[in-house]
Each structure stands twice: as C-alpha cells, then as structure tokens.
Copies of this chain bind each other. A is one copy, B any other.
Amino acid sequence: MKAVILAGGSVAVPGDLVSDAAQAGDEIYRLIEELYPLCRSISGDGVRETFELVNRVVPVRRTEVPTGTEVFDWVVPREWNVREAWIDAPDGTRVVDLRDSCLHVLGYSTPIRARMPLSELREHLFVHPDDADLIPFRTSYYHENWGFCLARSTLDALPEGEYDVCIDSTLADGSITYAEAFLPGSSEEEILISTYSCHPSLANENVSGIAFLAVLGKYLSTMRLRYSYRFLWSPGSIGPISWLARNEQLLPSIRGGLVATCLGDRGHMTYKQSRRGDAEIDRAVAIALRDAGAEHEVRPFVPLGGDERQFCSPGINLAMGALSRTPADEFPEYHSSADNLELVRPDRLADSFAMYARVIDIVERNGRWRNTNPKGEPQLGKRGLYRNVGGGSSQEAALLWVLNLSDGDHDLLTIAERSNLEFTEIAGAADRLRECDLLVPA
C-alpha cells in the first residue's frame, strides 16, 4: 500500500488498495486457516476465540448481550458450549468425534450420555441429502434436541448393536457475543460492513467473511478517510437484531453499508441491492462492478437471504446491500464439509478485496460539485488542462463531463453512469478542476 500522503502531496484513496489486493488475499487466507477449526455457534466460547484472532489483525470491541435480553421481537437465547461429542460403536470404535470436525454435532445439542441401539440412535443422526461422503451442517437453535451429523457412507457402514453416545454440552444462561471495529473518519457519518460469525468449520460461508472484514479493516485503518467505518461481526439474525436494538441512536448517521459473506469461492461477484434499490451504495457497487469489467450480477432486493433482512426491515431500512461471490445456498458445497479450505482461494479473496476497495473508493470520493464557470465551457487550455489543441482523450472527456453536469444536481456517480467513463477518471477530473477552482462544493 502506498503511504497515506504520497510524494506529490496527493492523499492515498481506498482505490489504491486495488494494487494491494494480492497481498491482502494471502493475509485473509491465512486468517481463514486459523479460524476454520474453531467450533462456533450463535453463542459460546468458539465465538470469543474467533474474536481474539480477529483482534490481532484489527482492534475490536466485544459486547456480550445476556440471555433473556429482549431485542425487538426476540429474546436472546441461552449460551451453548460443547466440549466433546462422540459415538462409540458396539465394538468400542469411536465412529464419530467432534475432534475430527465441528460439523459432527448438531448445533445447540442438549447434553446426553447414554447407551442405545442403533435404531434409536438413528433418529438423531443427520446426513447430507445429496452426497454420501459429506457431513452436513445442521442446527436446532429454537427447538431443543440433540444429534450428530455424519456422512451417509459412515452411517451405512455402522453395524446394528448398542452404541455409546456422548455430548458434553451446556445450554445455559450466558450471553451472545458480537464484535465491532470502528475507524473514525472526518465525518460522523458511518459506513457499516457486517458479517455473521456463527458458523463453525465452513470456510466460504462464512469464515471467509469473518477474516475478510478483519483484513479490510486493517488496511483501511492506515488511511485518512472521509467517512467513519464500522465493522460488525455477530451471529446471524439474532446478532444484527441485538446490535440494532442497542444502537438505534446510531442509525441516522449510517450512510450505507454492505453485508459481506462468501468471499472466496470460484463464482463471480454478486450484488444484492438494498431495499431502497437506488441508494448511493447500490449505485456505487454497480459502477464498481462495471468498471472492474469482469462478469458479475446485480439483483434486486428480496426479503430472503442473510442479515440484510434485518438491516433492511421496514422500520430500519438502512441503505445496505449484500456483496458476495456466490450467494450462500447457491454453491453446491454449501452447509457441508465440502465448504472447506480447498474451496476458498487467495486469488478469489484478493479479487473480492479489490472490489470492496473500489466500492469504498467511490463512496469516499463521490459528491456534488458546482461549476464556477457554468456559462459556456471554461477555457481549459490556459489552465494547462488540455494537453494539445484538438485531441480528445478520455481524460479530456472526463473534464468536460464533470464541468457540464456539475450544476449541483448530479453527483460524480451520476456523471460516471451517464458518461460511461470509469469513476476514477471522473473523480480524477473533479480533483483537477477543484485545484484550479473550476469546481466548488455544491
């Protein structure tokens, strides 16, 4: 990354991070490797350990919300922790063991220590619906149960007989935990970037999001920024609901934001618009995707999916979309042991990082300006803004577009949309025009 203040006096902008993306992708991948084995759920010590690892990358503040706290229509559930979970076959062989994979235990399983025939045990065994070799990911947060997840091929090989079963878990009053990193900017207006921290060993969905936010926060923390940035890691659904309920006073200052998930898989970038659909963040992401020139998809808001459901509920209605690679539940490895460290790759994480850098750059640099010389074109030549008489490069076109539409009604994003020029060219033209006083704030 370039120094914040460059030699020429110009300030580094988030768009400069595009050139740091490969390095950032490697850092994110290494953090994913560390986070992957931890047994997370919507509460518990696995989450706290996770936040400690994140805290080494970017400083976070942890909040505990006690069991029983009312948060809007919900009540914070009991805290769950699991120490061991295994099944021993009639011959004493340990056929399922939490130590092999966090996925083996049904999330929020109540404790059990029993001996029972396979026929009875079967009702507590869950397999993947499609693939005999994969362990599925299953939970039962709001309906008490216990169980194990395992490969159908393992299950099919189990002989009849009596099995020893152990889940050493506690489901008791405690708290859920969320973490925030806050980067103050010049303005009190904030950009909120949120991800969910409740999934155990699922590398793309959503260990990638947890690690991505940490590294993005670290890089941004060295820049002088216009807006303040808040990164939020919290358990899915109950996490954003708790955070929103406790931070209602903050909401008016949230200019916009993104829900960041599934950032390392092989798919192209996918953006799901905010409920507003035409918020600045929606337009910024659309232009960032366009300017990057790679395959991508933009989808309208639907009230199904991830945590954007809470941020975009009608009484909250934040300008927050979801920017991911393949959305959760659309890649075949979703919610199974195949969502592992092979699925996420540093170069794809880097690509996602570069896209977030572009988006943040646009949000940081966007604005409405007023042409101080609005009658006729100003003479660019005498200000050294025309390299030659004639010509007509895209740089000169950018100058003319910015001058023509800077009447106070059009922001730079609109100018980038209308001109079909890259946002960085438009923003660069605006910088040059401000330097010679041809633009002032609108």
Chain A interface residues toward B at CB < 8 A? 71-74, 139-143, 237, 240-241, 244-245, 248, 275, 300, 302-304, 309-310, 312-316, 371, 373-379, 381-382, 389, 392, 397, 400-401, 403-407, 418-419
Contact = CB atoms under 8 A, between A and B. Distances in A.
Contacts of A72: 373, 375-376, 378
19 contacts: A71-B376, A72-B376, A74-B379, A142-B381, A142-B382, A142-B389, A241-B377, A244-B375, A245-B375, A275-B404, A300-B418, A302-B401, A303-B404, A309-B404, A313-B376, A313-B377, A313-B404, A314-B406, A315-B407
Contacts of A382: 142
Q: Which 9 A-B pairs have the closest CB atoms?
A: A315-B374, A303-B404, A315-B375, A314-B407, A241-B376, A73-B378, A314-B374, A303-B400, A72-B376
A143 B73 contact: no
Nearest to A313: B376
A315 to B, nearest CB: 3
A376 B73 contact: yes
Contacts of A309: 377, 400, 404
Considering residues A72, A312, A377, A397, which has the most beta carbons from chain B within 10 angstroms of its beta carbon?
A377
Given A304-B400, A312-B404, A313-B404, 9 more contacts: A141-B389, A248-B375, A302-B419, A303-B400, A313-B376, A314-B404, A314-B405, A314-B406, A316-B375
A138 to B, nearest CB: 9
Contacts of A389: 139-143
Contacts of A404: 275, 303, 309, 312-314
Contacts of A374: 313-316
A376 B244 contact: yes
Considering residues A374, A382, A419, which has the most beta carbons from chain B within 10 angstroms of its beta carbon?
A374
Contacts of A237: 377
Contacts of A392: 304
Contacts of A373: 72-73, 315
A313 to B, nearest CB: 5
